[in-house]
Structure 1
Amino acid sequence: MPDVLVVAGLSLAVAALVMVATAVAARRAGRVSVVDVAWGLALVGVAVVCAVLAGDWRGWLLVALVGVWGARLSSHIFTRGRGHGEDPRYRELLGGSLPDVGMRVAVRKVFLVQGAAVWLVSLPLQAAALCSVTWTWVVWLGVAVWALGVLFETVGDAQLAAYKRDPDRGPVMDRGLWSWTRHPNYFGDACVWWGIWLAGGVASGWLPALVTVLSPIAMTIWLVWITGARLLERTMMERPGYPEYATHTSMFVPRPPKRGRRASRV
């Protein structure tokens, strides 16, 4: 098995290289939201490095899991954002558009943070490179949780795309999975990384499980409170009909809609 410093260092190097390249691309494009496309690809790169270092079947299984998730997510975000301006979430985070605030602010508030987040979230991949499999059945449990997450992301995005094409749509998307959670894609993202934690961290033993649990916790916090649901909600609450939708639909964890009741906070 490789040395822990080698695995951690190479994983950090991959995250740093991707973020440097993304910062250059953001400067040319005039918007930092291109980092959302690079996010999944950076984790795929770390997964490949860890699999090469591990040299076992689980490492390449994790490459497949992260690769399917990352390629789908990056492709979806790239297609959705093509021809559009800056994401309102990042404009609020930066305090203005990229040309106005400058690259120093963008590097400090976005690219350094996202690079560190890639390294932190990749901890289960690093654990799988450092430790052999202790519980094979936990690997497959992780695959099942990962599959649930990909299902929520894929179906949720497809339902939202169909809603946008419907000329008779209402003011707010509240159909299908969106009637159970206001952010099925973010919930799916969280499930993906809890599944990868099971397959990469927990399946390696109790100590790796405890060390790497920071990964899915950080991902969930990121998706709910940092650049995900909570930040998006500030903009969405200004849309007609959305506050009413929010009163009976869970924000994150899927639950049956509660008509006439106040929705849960998460």
Structure 2
Amino acid sequence: MKYFLPLASFFAGWILLLMTNSLFATSLVNGALQMLLFALVVCLPIWRTGRMSYVDIGWPWGVAVIGVLTWVTGEGDPVRVALVSMAYIFVGSRMGLGALQLWKMGVLKKELPRYEYQKRRWLKAGKTNTALAMQVDAILQGMANASFLALPAFLIATNPSDSVSALEVIGLLVWVGAFAMESVADLQKLAFLKAMKRSGQKNRVCDVGLWKYTRHPNYFAEWMVWNGLIIAAIPSWLALQNQESTVIWGLLGVGLLMASRMMYATLVYNTGAVPAEYYSVQKRPDYKAYQEKTNIFFPGPRK
């Protein structure tokens, strides 16, 4: 039972979407497509290789699938449907193409550190059947795409209004700003690594640019990308109040909050900052000092 318990909230989120009048058909198709994608691209390779790293291919392409499905099935305002669809397709395909490049380079022939850390975590929790735990975790990622992560797109695509809400503008600005921040952080890290290689140095701590103010500006920015989508979805959720029962409508609002909470937990604890730092402390002598003076996630002044 302890192996399957983490699936409960995501499965409940998908069932919630299937109980709605407005999102049932799209959510049913999305759930089927996510499970098919993950079965072929993630679960089967995990079973054959014993490596979790294939999640990095399946999850972002699952996000792109949400975008394509939203564009095809969305019955709301065409401009609104196109914008949210393109946002999902862009985010998913960008990360998905990067993952495919890593696979082509042979990087995924070795388990990525964050998934090695996950296996350590399972053993500590008494989950000794690693093969089963990997399959459950892979399915969990697919169910996240089938439930909470799809919710902002599906809600926005139901809104027929041709007027633009202030929250939609704020959400769009947050999305653009967060994506720009993530791109800048990645470029700063790449430039730092290149400079370190040219100077013949190894295992230095990247503390330049945005990395001065948070140890993981890319993870923080990715979280804010999703928060931008969630903010933009609030007016569309409010517009559904008369089309759904009070209970279902209220739970959809909770689902939006769950999407933000889930991404935060993933980017900080599950496969993000905490696993990365477990290995950084071992590899980089100055990392402990960096931890003491720089916030782990939220940007802020140095201590």
Aligned residue number for residue 181 of structure 1: 214
* Partner residue of 2:191 out of 162, 176, 185: 162
Shift of 1:2: 7.0
Aligned residue number for residue 112 of structure 1: 139
Shift of 1:80: 4.7
Distance (Å, rounded) in 2 between the aligned partners of 1:209 and 1:195: 15
* Partner residue of 1:94 out of 110, 116, 119: 119
Aligned residue number for residue 150 of structure 1: 179
- Secondary structure of residue in 1 paired with 2:70: helix
Aligned residue number for residue 59 of structure 2: 39
Conserved? CA contact 2:155–2:237, under 8 Å: no
Backbone CA RMSD of aligned residues = 2.6
Distance (Å, rounded) in 2 between the aligned partners of 1:248 and 1:102: 36
What whole-Å deviation, never above 9, does each CA across 1:178-229 have from its counterpart, x for those lacking one? 1111111111110110011122x21214355444222122111211121111
Indicate whether 1:123 and 2:151 are aligned: yes
CA separation of 1:80/1:162 partners in 2, compared to 1, >3 Å: closer, same or farther?
Answer: farther
CA separation of 1:137/1:152 partners in 2, compared to 1, >3 Å: closer, same or farther?
Answer: same
CA separation of 1:102/1:246 partners in 2, compared to 1, >3 Å: closer, same or farther?
Answer: closer
What whole-Å deviation, never above 9, does each CA across 1:132-191 have from its counterpart, x for those lacking one? 457533222211111122112211111111122113357111111111111111111101
Matches within 5 A, 1:58-97: 58-80=80-102, 82-84=105-107, 85-95=110-120
Shift of 1:75: 2.7
Amino acid at match of 1:156: A
- Secondary structure of residue in 2 paired with 1:221: helix
Indicate whether 1:203 and 2:232 are aligned: no
Indicate whether 1:16 and 2:38 are aligned: no
Distance (Å, rounded) in 2 between the aligned partners of 1:75 and 1:164: 21
Distance (Å, rounded) in 1 between the aligned partners of 2:57 and 2:178: 19
Conserved? CA contact 2:170–2:231, under 8 Å: yes
Distance (Å, rounded) in 2 between the aligned partners of 1:20 and 1:179: 40
Indicate whether 1:230 and 2:252 are aligned: no
Amino acid at match of 2:141: Q
- Secondary structure of residue in 2 paired with 1:192: helix
Aligned residue number for residue 253 of structure 1: 298
- Segments of structure 1 that go 5 or more residues without pairing to the other structure are 259-266
Indicate whether 1:52 and 2:72 are aligned: yes
Tell me: higher relative CO, structure 1 or 2? Use CA pairs within 8 A at least 6 residues apart.
Answer: 2
- Secondary structure of residue in 1 paired with 2:298: coil
CA separation of 1:187/1:121 partners in 2, compared to 1, >3 Å: closer, same or farther?
Answer: same
Distance (Å, rounded) in 2 between the aligned partners of 1:78 and 1:155: 22
Distance (Å, rounded) in 2 between the aligned partners of 1:106 and 1:165: 34
Conserved? CA contact 2:68–2:89, under 8 Å: no
- Segments of structure 2 that go 5 or more residues without pairing to the other structure are 1-19, 122-127, 239-248
- Using the aligned pairs only, state the percent identity: 26
Distance (Å, rounded) in 1 between the aligned partners of 2:133 and 2:261: 26
CA separation of 1:217/1:233 partners in 2, compared to 1, >3 Å: closer, same or farther?
Answer: same
- Secondary structure of residue in 1 paired with 2:157: helix
Conserved? CA contact 1:95–1:101, under 8 Å: no
- Secondary structure of residue in 2 paired with 1:121: coil
Aligned residue number for residue 8 of structure 2: none
Shift of 1:26: 4.0
Distance (Å, rounded) in 2 between the aligned partners of 1:62 and 1:29: 36
CA separation of 1:35/1:211 partners in 2, compared to 1, >3 Å: closer, same or farther?
Answer: closer
Shift of 1:8: 2.0
Distance (Å, rounded) in 1 between the aligned partners of 2:210 and 2:102: 20
Distance (Å, rounded) in 2 between the aligned partners of 1:214 and 1:102: 27
TM-score normalised per structure 2: 0.75
Distance (Å, rounded) in 2 between the aligned partners of 1:161 and 1:102: 34
Distance (Å, rounded) in 2 between the aligned partners of 1:29 and 1:160: 31
